[in-house]
Amino acid sequence: MAPGAPVRSLTSAVHAALRSDILTCRLAPGEKLPVAALAKRFDVSLSAVREALSRLVADGFVLSEDQRGFRVSPLDLADLLDLTSTRIEIEALALRRSIARGDAGWERAVRESWDALRQVPYALARQTAPHDGGWADLHFAFHEALVSACGLGWLMRFRKALFEQSERYRALARAVGGSDRDVNAEHAAIVEAALARDAAAAEAALALHFTTTMELVRAAVPAGSPPR
């Protein structure tokens, strides 16, 4: 880290780096996060690391345990099923509202985000890292565009938190191996139904998309796995 940088900016930098490592599973689910080692890695104070970890606890990405320190929140099958079901409910509501309320600007945003995403091969999804401008960011922008006319701020914030938690499961699945699924076709089905203002078809396509991802991830997440 840059010498002489304000403590808050150092904390934010550590938070961003750790968050990226957790979302991509470079820091494995359940992995311990020793404060002293992280302070040495980032060349910052212990307090900066503790504050960054505390933020990640609030985000749900890190657990804090009395007398045992910090560790990456574990992943398991029960959580995956719960997360996917909740995402389908929340995202479908946001999508339905956007289809009902979206104007020409919303339609343009959906088309532009879809055009940008399909230009990048799905194979590059395995090279994902948040905020690097690659497939993961385009994928997030695409799904966000679809629901951008929702009009409910709290719903959108909750939706974003669910999406980010799902990124960890997708990263774990990508690390295990490939799939011959046609993600572009899944996305195209959602776009076509949304732009046709067919809310029922759009919701069904969205649910199938999320469920397909869940089934692929299940192979990488052991049922009832104990925290490491």
pLDDT over threshold 70, residue 5: no
User: 33-51 pLDDT, tens per residue?
Assistant: 999 999 999 999 999 999 9
- For residue 128, pLDDT beyond 80: no
Is residue 228's pLDDT more than 60?
no
Orientation of helix 77-101 relative to helix 153-176, angle to 10°: 130
Residue pLDDT, tens place only, 47-77: 999 999 999 999 899 999 887 899 999 988 8
Max CA distance (Å), the chain: 56
Distance CA 75, CA 60 (A): 11
21, 83, 161, 137: CA torsion to nearest 10: 60
pLDDT band at 144 (very low <50, low <70, confident <90, very high): very high
Alpha carbon distance 208, 186 (integer Å): 8
Which tens digit of pLDDT belongs to each residue from 150-208?
999 999 999 999 998 998 888 876 665 556 778 899 999 999 999 999 999 999 999 99
pLDDT tens per residue across span 63-122: 998 878 999 999 888 999 999 999 999 999 999 999 999 999 999 999 999 999 999 876
Q: Which of 4, 19, 10 is nearest to 53 (CA)?
A: 19
Model pLDDT, residue 177? 54
Mention every residue, 6+ apart, whose C-beta is less than 8 A from residue 136. Answer: 125, 128, 129, 130, 167
Amino acid at 189: A
